[in-house]
Amino acid sequence: MIIKDLVKSAKQGNKEALLTLILEDKDDYYRLAYSYVGNQHDAMDAMEDMIVKIYEKIHQLRKPEMFYSWSRSILVNSCKDQLRKRKKIILVDEFATTADAHNPHTQQEAVLEVHYLLEHINEHQREAITLKYLHDLDYKTIAAITNVSIGTVKSRIFQGMNKLRDIVRRDLND
């Protein structure tokens, strides 16, 4: 079934259709939640919260083709709620994507380097860069998730990347 049909069926109360939609992107949902909350338990809690909210609010979704952007926004908001409750912010933890997949030491170094770099930019820039480059989301989806305009998303990414380049250049020259 295509997304529109599944959403239509879910709106009519078909729990299996809703489950199919969610399971289709479960790994992406998990990575997104984990990057916000920083641990497996809280990521799973955020996903559970997202599923409940989607079930309760699926009738509010106007454009079925926007289901995944809409559901990611719900997930991000669930993660942010958890972080507010814990009174701490942990964005981004799993960044072994650029490291040698067979060498855990190289992966660990890559994770530490990315953490070091991301600590030097503001929260909004860090969030936009994380969503763009680590979760491979487009500007429109990032704008929907963060509830800002596409221009603001582009600006945050551009300014954040410029700061990161300056830090890397400075570190290379030292």
CATH number at residue 136: 1.10.10.10
Extract the tokens encoding 93: 């933890």
**3-class SS of residue 136:** coil
| Together in a domain, 44 and 114 | no
Domain end among 86, 117, 134: 86
> φ, ψ for residue 73 (rounded to 5)?
-60, -40
Answer positive or negative: Cα dihedral of 3, 9, 13, 16. Answer: negative
Print pLDDT tens along the chain (174 aa): 588 999 999 999 899 999 999 999 999 999 999 988 888 988 999 999 999 999 999 999 999 999 999 999 999 999 988 887 765 444 444 444 444 455 555 555 666 677 778 888 999 998 898 888 888 888 998 998 898 999 999 999 999 988 888 887 887 776
Residue 91 lies inside a defined structural domain of this protein = no
Q: What is the pTM of this model?
A: 0.62
Domain region containing 166: 96-173
3-state DSSP helix/strand/coil percent for the chain, to nearest 5?
80, 0, 20
